[in-house]
Amino acid sequence: MALIESAFSVMSEKPLAVPGTIDNAELIRYLRAKIDQLLVVMGSQPLRPEELDDATLIALDPIGIIAESFGQVIAHLYATNNRLDIARNEIRTILDTLGAAVVVLDLEDRVEDCNRRALDWFFDGGERAQVIGHPAAEVCTCAAALGEVRSSADGSSHSTNIHGRDVQVVASKICDEAGQHAQTVMLFTDIGEQKTIERHLQLYAEVFSHIGEGILITDADNRIIEINDAVTRITGYARDELIGADPGKLKSGLHKPAFYAGMWRTLRAQGHWQGEVFDRTRDGRVVPLLQTISEVRNADDKLTHRIAVMADISSMKEAQTRLDFLAHHDVLTALPNRLLFNDRLHHAIERAQRDKSALALLFIDLDRFKNINDSLGHHVGDLLLIEAARRIKSLARRADTVARFGGDEFVVLMESGASHESAAHLAEKLVVAFKQPFTVTGTELHIGCSIGITLYPDDGTDAVSLLKNADAAMYRAKESGRDGHYRYTAELSAATNSKLELDNALRSAVRDGGFELHYQPIVDIKRGEVIACEALLRWPQAPAGASTPDLFVPVAEETRLIVPLGHWVVREALTRFQAWQAEGLTLDYISVNISAVQMAQPDFPDSIISLLLESGVAGHHLQIEITENVLMGNIDLCSWVLTQLREHGIRTAIDDFGTGYSSLSYLKRLPIDNLKIDRSFVRDIPGDPNDCAIAAAVVSLARTLGMDTIAEGIETLEQQNYLARIGCDKVQGYLHSRPLPAADFLTFVRQAHPFRTGDST
Ligand code: C2E
Ligand code: MG
Ligand code: MG
């Protein structure tokens, strides 16, 4: 009785009593009364882990202890029974309901007795009658193992594996009346489940010590009782420096008391808190941690522990800072981007409003940047932008904000002391600085800039209008000849269209046929005849700021509207040529300008050829003009296109020759008929010896390559005479005629214009 009590008392951690003499009847009564409870303890679910904390659970071996006690009880029972031979069947019935197996062997390993569970586990599920009295070796599936247990019986408990089953074993010797050892009672308890729990606990322990996050456990008094290795790694404190300490030891001092008060409030109210905490490591560094603190409560809802899980988020924070930088800066130049600039502008406006001071905005756009990108590639373009950014930054004052808005657009915000004069002064310095060539990958590049200026509050009181007006002023600067700056005026606003409006206007004009072609004669000065003409786009209803193709063609290219527009140009030019032919005007060819975007269309050659066939004009009457930059931008593509066009007799001219970056050796490989010497080289001849030399070189090279040259932009007779002398006898320019509407062009040619040649003057 006392023994059984002791077995149960294990659960309340009382020491075990040593077995005394047992009264059989009393025991049976007791077993009857307690059988349910006993089965809970020894049966399939002996443990309810939630009732025990982990540490106690690991330390305890309740099944082992109970089995040991109970095994001794049963051994006693048998000993007494042997003597009194009573109630054997009743005991059997009780034993059969046990979750444990009981086997009694004599000294020769003959089976004296066993219960139901033992029959199932060790005797193949047989019946007791087939087993009792037989040698174990004959009837038992694991006789050797049982024999071994029997021979080492000493009444203590140990665990082993029998027949694939993890069991706790107690084997006790029973003596006969003469006091001689006669039998051995063995009790086997299945501990498979306990083993599983142990394995899980082992696993948890492994996870605890190896997990990347720090785990810190405090008791109810907020003293640290356990940490894992990660805490040491994160904080730099050794284990024994933290155990017993208050977690406040890790405080960085960066948080206000209110922060911790809030944390405790949430923790008490919700049992859980999560947030970012800056702690201080042992060597004084501040480390950002993502912390989750949870309360642990027992069955009586009493706080027993708190568990803090901490993740070091330093690298995440760094990535965040980097991301933040990227979100607000231009990657290429590291200048603030549009987003950051807008933010600064908003703040600057607020300050200026308050202080009644002025601000100035400079909107800077690089001239001809696209040429460089197209011809020398984006890599060179990028390097040039970096250099340009550096140049702008070096001229701006330290307090000014210089930003890149994307593409080749930069903006400077001048705050303190901003005035029209200071803005114009900076703009002037920038224009002069940009006149100096840039050296990129060993090449000298010439690129100018156009600048639009607005002032707060005169030219706008909010960020959007200040920027929009500065953009408009910049366009005006471009319109009036590039390489300059322009202060915004109210009139400009009335006439100005933003890019978006321009895009819409272009779209409508393409749809509604709002474009015209003008034709400029190409004259052979030797023959004194108009031999051909160039078709040039005109937009009669163009919004202000987009009056010439130089201004609207780039926008049409950007929005790809140039594709339908360019298609229309070719069709219109061919239709006109056909009509003139019908009226008896025979020119060698009509020349049309083709943009890079059109060239890149896979169906470009086909579309030109079908327009040609549709018009009935012979191929050699059509010439396309492409710039060197388009050509060099994609030499293989151009070579493919030009060859296809050439198969239909179509001619090719290189436009604005000399302004780009072509290599003559490439030109040699392509079917090119004409080089058009750019106006910029013609303008200053014969006065400028450099330009004279360039023009002469182009003419002689062209001749060597079997091409003709046409000089563009001839305005004076002197220019024409010089060109004739160096062997260029085809010219185009105001000297002969401006580009004319179709009807005027026809009249012009018909007048049999008495062209004066160089020789006749
Ligand atoms: P471009 O092809 O080099 O055309 C020659 C430009 O020089 C024309 O300007 C013409 O009016 C101008 N010009 C001719 N002779 C003289 C002169 O003696 N003095 C001066 N100062 N200028 C002269 P425009 O018509 O404004 O065209 C400008 C550019 O726009 C063209 O340069 C061409 O690149 C482009 N463009 C014109 N029409 C088209 C078109 O249908 N498609 C494409 N893609 N581009 C076009
Ligand atoms: Mg042209
Ligand atoms: Mg040209």
Query: pLDDT digit string (tens) for 699-741?
Result: 988 888 889 999 999 999 999 999 999 999 899 999 999 999 9
3-state secondary structure of 15: coil
Which of residues 489 and 233 earns the better pLDDT score?
A: 233
CA distance 642 to 652: 7
Which of residues 98 and 665 earns the better pLDDT score?
A: 98
How many whole angstroms from its chain centre is CA 190?
Answer: 56
Q: In angstroms, what is the span from residue 264 Cα to ligand 1's centroid?
A: 76
- Of 105-119, 188-202, 726-740, least confident by mean pLDDT is 188-202
The single-letter DSSP state of residue 43 is S
Whether ligand 1 lies within 6 angstroms of the CB of 481 is answered as no
Residue 350: both structure tokens together: 């607020």
Query: What phi and psi values does residue 406 have, to the nearest 5 degrees?
Result: 110, 155
Which of residues 700 and 92 earns the better pLDDT score?
A: 700
Nearest to 616 by CA among 671, 567, 579, 562: 579
Q: What is the model's pTM? A: 0.48
Q: Determine the pLDDT at residue 484.
A: 76
CA distance 676 to 671: 15
Q: Determine the pLDDT at residue 324.
A: 81
Whether ligand 1 lies within 6 angstroms of the CB of 103 is answered as no
Q: Determine the pLDDT at residue 657.
A: 86
Which residues partner with 104 through β-bridges?
113, 185
Q: Determine the pLDDT at residue 672.
A: 93
Q: Determine the pLDDT at residue 363.
A: 96
Nearest to 106 by CA among 145, 150, 137: 150
Which of residues 151 and 642 earns the better pLDDT score?
A: 642
- What percent of the chain shows pLDDT beyond 70? 84
Whether ligand 1 lies within 6 angstroms of the CB of 659 is answered as no
CA distances from 57 to 41, 122, 215, 572, 689 (A): 14, 30, 20, 94, 101
Which of residues 633 and 461 earns the better pLDDT score?
A: 461
3-state secondary structure of 708: strand
Which residues partner with 312 through β-bridges?
289
CA-nearest residue, atom 25 of ligand 1: 536
Quickly list H helices, 243-304. Answer: 257-270
CA-nearest residue, atom 20 of ligand 1: 713
Site of tokens 């909010």: 462
Q: Determine the pLDDT at residue 256.
A: 94
**Helix 62-84 vs helix 2-9: angle between axes, to the nearest 10 degrees?**
170
CA distance 295 to 307: 6
Quickly list H helices, 583-663. Answer: 596-599, 604-615, 628-633, 635-646
Q: Is 546 left (phi over 0), alpha (psi -120 to 50) or beta?
A: alpha
- What percent of the chain shows pLDDT beyond 90? 53
CA distance 472 to 493: 7
CA-nearest residue, atom 11 of ligand 1: 739
For residues 607-630, give the mean pLDDT. Answer: 94
Q: Is 163 left (phi over 0), alpha (psi -120 to 50) or beta?
A: left
For residues 199-228, give the mean pLDDT. Answer: 90
CA-nearest residue, atom 7 of ligand 1: 713
pLDDT level of residue 71 (50, 70, 90 thresholds) = low
pLDDT level of residue 50 (50, 70, 90 thresholds) = very low
Identity of the residue numbered 180: Q
CA-nearest residue, atom 8 of ligand 1: 536
For residues 477-483, give the mean pLDDT. Answer: 73
- CA-562 nearest atom, ligand 1: 44
For residues 182-206, give the mean pLDDT. Answer: 86
CA distance 235 to 285: 9
Element (H, E) at 63: helix 62-84
Query: What phi and psi values does residue 305 have, to the nearest 5 degrees?
Result: -145, 165
Whether ligand 1 lies within 6 angstroms of the CB of 733 is answered as yes
Residue pLDDT, tens place only, 416-470: 888 999 999 999 999 999 988 899 888 888 888 999 999 999 999 999 999 999 9
Residue 755 has pLDDT above 60, yes or no: no
Q: Determine the pLDDT at residue 760.
A: 35
Q: Determine the pLDDT at residue 603.
A: 94
- Of 24-33, 349-358, 541-550, 688-697, least confident by mean pLDDT is 24-33
Q: Determine the pLDDT at residue 701.
A: 84
Identity of the residue numbered 284: G
Residue 606 near residue 637 (C-beta atoms within 8 A): no
Site of tokens 């009785």: 1
Q: Determine the pLDDT at residue 228.
A: 93
The single-letter DSSP state of residue 624 is E
Most confident listed range (67-76, 143-152, 402-411) = 402-411
SS3 content of the chain, % helix, strand, coil (to 5): 50, 20, 30
* Cis preceding linkage at 336, omega within 30: no
Which of residues 633 and 80 earns the better pLDDT score?
A: 633
Site of tokens 């069991």: 167
- Of 137-146, 408-417, 500-509, 669-678, least confident by mean pLDDT is 500-509
Q: In angstroms, what is the span from residue 161 Cα to ligand 2's centroid?
A: 97
Q: Determine the pLDDT at residue 34.
A: 41
pLDDT level of residue 21 (50, 70, 90 thresholds) = very low
pLDDT level of residue 197 (50, 70, 90 thresholds) = confident
Query: What phi and psi values does residue 21 have, to the nearest 5 degrees?
Result: -80, 140
Strands 708-712, 589-593: pairing is unpaired
Residue 10 has pLDDT above 90, yes or no: no
Whether ligand 1 lies within 6 angstroms of the CB of 570 is answered as no
Residue 757 has pLDDT above 70, yes or no: no
Residue 672: how many other CB atoms lie within 10 Å: 22
